[in-house]
Structure 1
Amino acid sequence: MSKNTELSTVEKKALLITEFVDEVAILKINRPEKLNALNTEMIEALKVELKRLEDNEKVKGIILTGVEKSFIVGADISEMKNLSTESSIKFISNLHELINTIRNLNKPVIAAVNGYCFGAGLELAISCDLTICSKEASFGMQEVKIGIPSVIEAALFPFIIGLNKTRELLLTGDVIDSKTAIEIGLVNHVVEHSELMEKTMEYTLKITVNPSYSVMLQKQLINRWLDNAGLNQSIQNGVDYFGRAFSHPDTNKIMGDALK
Structure 2
Amino acid sequence: MKSYQLIRFSVEDRVATLVLKRPPVNVMNMEMMEEIVDALSSICKEENLHALVIRAEGKAFSAGVAVEDHMGDKTEPMIHLFHKMFHRLIEVPCPTIAVVEGAAIGGGCELATFCDLVIATDQAKFGQPEINLALFPPVSVVAFPWLTGLNRTMELLLTGETISAGKAYEWGLVNRVVSPEDLEATVGQLLDNLRGKSALALRLTRKAVREAMASSFASAIGKVEQIYLRELVYSDDAQEGLHSFLEKRPPVWKNC
| TM-score using structure 2 length | 0.88
Q: Could you say which residue in structure 2 is the equivalent of 1:3?
A: none
Q: Could you tell me which of 67, 82, 93 is aligned with 1:95?
A: 82
How far off is 1:250 after superposition? Answer: 3.2
How far off is 1:146 after superposition? Answer: 0.8
Evaluate the alpha carbon distance shift between residue 18 and residue 227 of structure 1 in structure 2; reply closer, same or farther with a 3 A threshold: closer
Structure 2: distance between partners of 1:155 and 1:48: 24
Q: Could you tell me which of 52, 58, 61 is aligned with 2:42?
A: 52
Structure 2: distance between partners of 1:68 and 1:102: 23
Q: What one-letter code is carried by the residue in structure 2 that aligns with 1:233?
A: S
Q: What one-letter code is carried by the residue in structure 2 that aligns with 1:30?
A: K
How far off is 1:227 after superposition? Answer: 4.1
Q: Could you tell me which of 70, 77, 83 is aligned with 2:72?
A: 83
Evaluate the alpha carbon distance shift between residue 154 and residue 69 of structure 1 in structure 2; reply closer, same or farther with a 3 A threshold: farther
Q: Could you say which residue in structure 1 is the equivalent of 2:219?
A: 233
Q: Could you say which residue in structure 2 is the equivalent of 1:169?
A: 156
Instruction: Show CA shifts across 1:179-224 (max 9, x none).
Output: 1111111100001112223312322332232111111111111122
Is the CA contact 1:124–1:153 (under 8 Å) kept in the aligned structure 2?
A: no
How far off is 1:258 after superposition? Answer: 1.3
Q: Could you say which residue in structure 2 is the equivalent of 1:251?
A: 238
Is the CA contact 1:110–1:204 (under 8 Å) kept in the aligned structure 2?
A: no
How far off is 1:135 after superposition? Answer: 0.7
Q: Could you say which residue in structure 1 is the equivalent of 2:3?
A: 9
Residues 1:68 and 2:58 aligned together:
yes
SS of alignment partner, residue 72 of structure 2: coil
Q: Could you say which residue in structure 2 is the equivalent of 1:129?
A: 116
Evaluate the alpha carbon distance shift between residue 93 and residue 153 of structure 1 in structure 2; reply closer, same or farther with a 3 A threshold: farther
How far off is 1:55 after superposition? Answer: 5.0
Aligned ranges 1:123-162 → 2 under 5 Å: 123-162=110-149
Residues 1:28 and 2:19 aligned together:
yes
SS of alignment partner, residue 120 of structure 2: strand
Structure 1: distance between partners of 2:81 and 2:7: 18
Q: Could you say which residue in structure 2 is the equivalent of 1:188?
A: 175
Instruction: Show CA shifts across 1:211-247 (max 9, x none).
Output: 111111111111222246x332221121112112122
SS of alignment partner, residue 70 of structure 1: coil
**RMSD of equivalent CA atoms:** 2.0
Q: What one-letter code is carried by the residue in structure 2 that aligns with 1:36?
A: N
Structure 1: distance between partners of 2:201 and 2:155: 37
Q: What one-letter code is carried by the residue in structure 1 that aligns with 2:3?
A: T
